[in-house]
Structure 1
Amino acid sequence: MTPFGARLRALREEKGITLSGLAAALQVSPAYLSALEHGRRGRPSAGLIQQVNDYFGLWDNVEELERLARLSHPRVVLDTAGLSPEATELANRLALRIRSLTPARIAALRAVLEGEE
């Protein structure tokens, strides 16, 4: 599941809306929405993000879904060309171990990365 997919599902469930009902309202297929929610599709289009914002009335925090969508590509490619050998090693170690990391380890790594911004 991607960050955008998790938020979309939460919004839908909070309002008691079925996947099919939301798909009809947004004029997309239920299969597409399901794929977004489960992380089998990449980033949604800017138009779909706007439709979701409008549908759920997220006018106070329009940027939230845009930020989540930017962080929601399920097949990430890291280009370390031109970076240090340590950066390349880190990218490769992460790729090899990402599936076995515990939620606590993921949270710790996120905290380190977010502290640098």
Structure 2
Amino acid sequence: MTPFGAKMRALRRERGISQKDMARALGVSAAYLSALEHGHRGAPNWAFVQKVIGYFNIIWDEAEELENLVWSSDPRVVIDTAGLPPEATRLANLLSRNIRQMDEATVRALLALVEAKIKP
């Protein structure tokens, strides 16, 4: 599941809306919504995100949060380490090979560590 898919699912469930009803309203298939929610589709485009925001009638911070989640929701990530130190390439490859074996606590700890290093 991607961050965008998890948020969209939470919004839908909070409001008691089925995938089928939401899909019909947005002009997509229920299978597409299911794939988005489960992380089997790439990040949606800007126009689709705007439809979702309008559908749920969300504004300001919550709309911005949903838009920002798209940028961290591509389930097929490619990391270009060309020109970076060898350790960066090693890290990218270790994550690529081992992330499926990591438990949720480990993933959260690594995410917190990386986010702490990139925030101003």
| TM-score (structure 2 length as normaliser) | 0.94
Q: In structure 1, what is the Cα distance between the partners aligned to 2:111 and 2:81?
A: 19
Select between 57-66 and 102-111 the one with higher mean Cα deviation.
57-66
Structure 2: runs of 5+ lacking an equivalent: none
Partner of 1:107: 108
Deviation at 1:102, TM superposition (A): 1.0
Deviation at 1:60, TM superposition (A): 2.3
Deviation at 1:57, TM superposition (A): 1.6
2:69 pairs with 1:68: yes
Q: In structure 1, what is the Cα distance between the partners aligned to 2:11 and 2:56?
A: 8
2:18 pairs with 1:18: yes
Question: Per the alignment, in what secondary structure is the counterpart of residue 10 of structure 1?
Answer: helix
| TM-score (structure 1 length as normaliser) | 0.96
Q: In structure 2, what is the Cα distance between the partners aligned to 1:33 and 1:100?
A: 27
Runs of 4+ in 1 over 2 A off after TM superposition: none
Structure 1: runs of 5+ lacking an equivalent: none
* Count of aligned residue pairs for this structure pair: 117
Deviation at 1:99, TM superposition (A): 0.4
Partner of 2:8: 8
AA of the residue aligned to 1:74: P
Aligned-pair RMSD on alpha carbons?
Answer: 0.8
Q: In structure 1, what is the Cα distance between the partners aligned to 2:83 and 2:109?
A: 27
AA of the residue aligned to 2:9: R
AA of the residue aligned to 1:46: W
- Give % identity: 55
